[in-house]
Amino acid sequence: MVSGGCVGAEGEVDPEAVAPAAATEEAVVPVQAPAREVVVGYALTTKKAKSFLQPKLRGLARKKGILFVAIDQKRPLSDQGPFDIVLHKLTGKGWQQLLEEYREAHPEVTVLDPPGAIANLLDRQSMLQEVSELDLTDCHGKVRVPKQLFVNTDPSSIPAAVRRAGLSLPLVAKPLVAKSHELSLAYDPTSLTKLEPPLVLQEFVNHGGVMFKVYIVGDAIRVVRRFSLPNVDEGDLLNNAGVFRFPRVSCAAASADDADLDPGVAELPPRPLLEILARELRRRLGLRLFNIDMIRQHGTRDRFYVIDMNYFPVGEKNTAGEKR
């Protein structure tokens, strides 16, 4: 089962260590049998499976007594296994129903994670709600979410809706369904009419062009730096118009961990702050495998914003050089 972000085999015995005791009649020490393998059934798209289940990961898992087994999505889950853990990143009502029925029939199996909980991170309208309700003002820093607005109306009415909501330009436009990593930056009211709802508009916060990706696996936390969108100043607002589209921001190729950065930009968020944030979000979201995208407001040391979250982030290299 999963505990503290690690899955491993317990009770392994070194034969050389127990041999002397076994040979001594006066001290008969019972040798504990090796624990059985931990079977992880996985249901991933072909692309995700190839990205996640790298040979290095499989080899490390075998040494730890962990066996990855592909789940046949065309057969009932109860006819497969037995599994100790089910790891998945699939969508669709059919799969969700199949998995929920399996969870009810096999409560002893750890499912990473329940489909209902994952749904919280698939809708950007509600994704950051739990973060906005947290009170972390006195926890080694302040964590907030940018002002944002859900838009599902005629594009021509977006400028008026933005004014009513009190949002300031520029605005980041993100697809409502968090399956796409594409985002756009709108500098002026006219460009807002060129957007394609449904979407979420989020106030842009200057952050020195660096984002912190916080990976959470159970109790374990890992943070990496990624290059992000550069700061926007008054001159940019005056001299730019239109919608600027970014197919993907902060991917692994944009790693900033080894870059020569201003220390005020590069400094990682305080560890105690991340631990409290991760613990609270695990509890509120009911998830154990997700990541948080955080930025530090430029010119401050302790003011952070959570701008996005993702379930089971797979496909980019982490700081250990392994796929995440």
d(CA 217, CA 73): 25
- The answer to whether 174 is a known ligand-binding residue is yes
- The answer to whether 52 is a known ligand-binding residue is no
d(CA 48, CA 318): 15
- The answer to whether 181 is a known ligand-binding residue is yes
- The answer to whether 4 is a known ligand-binding residue is no
d(CA 194, CA 196): 7
- The answer to whether 244 is a known ligand-binding residue is no
- The answer to whether 32 is a known ligand-binding residue is no
d(CA 265, CA 296): 8
- The answer to whether 293 is a known ligand-binding residue is yes
Strands (E), the chain: 38-43, 66-70, 85-88, 110-112, 142-144, 148-151, 171-175, 183-186, 199-203, 210-217, 220-227, 243-246, 289-296, 303-311
The answer to whether the beta carbons of residues 90 and 43 sit under 8 Å apart is yes
- The answer to whether 101 is a known ligand-binding residue is no
All residues at 6 or more sequence positions from 172 whose CB lies less than 8 Å from its CB, including other chains: 183, 184, 185, 201, 202, 203, 204, 307
- The answer to whether 298 is a known ligand-binding residue is no
- The answer to whether 246 is a known ligand-binding residue is no
- The answer to whether 94 is a known ligand-binding residue is no
- The answer to whether 56 is a known ligand-binding residue is no
- The answer to whether 124 is a known ligand-binding residue is yes
- The answer to whether 72 is a known ligand-binding residue is no
- The answer to whether 142 is a known ligand-binding residue is no
- The answer to whether 299 is a known ligand-binding residue is no
- The answer to whether 205 is a known ligand-binding residue is yes
- The answer to whether 314 is a known ligand-binding residue is no
- The answer to whether 203 is a known ligand-binding residue is yes
- The answer to whether 207 is a known ligand-binding residue is yes
All residues at 6 or more sequence positions from 111 whose CB lies less than 8 Å from its CB, including other chains: 85, 86, 88, 99, 102, 103
- The answer to whether 257 is a known ligand-binding residue is no
Known binding-site positions for Mg(2+): 293, 308, 310
Annotated binding-site members for ATP: 124, 174, 202-213, 228
Binding site, annotated residues for 1D-myo-inositol 1,3,4-trisphosphate? 48, 89, 181, 213, 310
The binding site consists of 48, 89, 124, 174, 181, 202-213, 228, 293, 308, 310
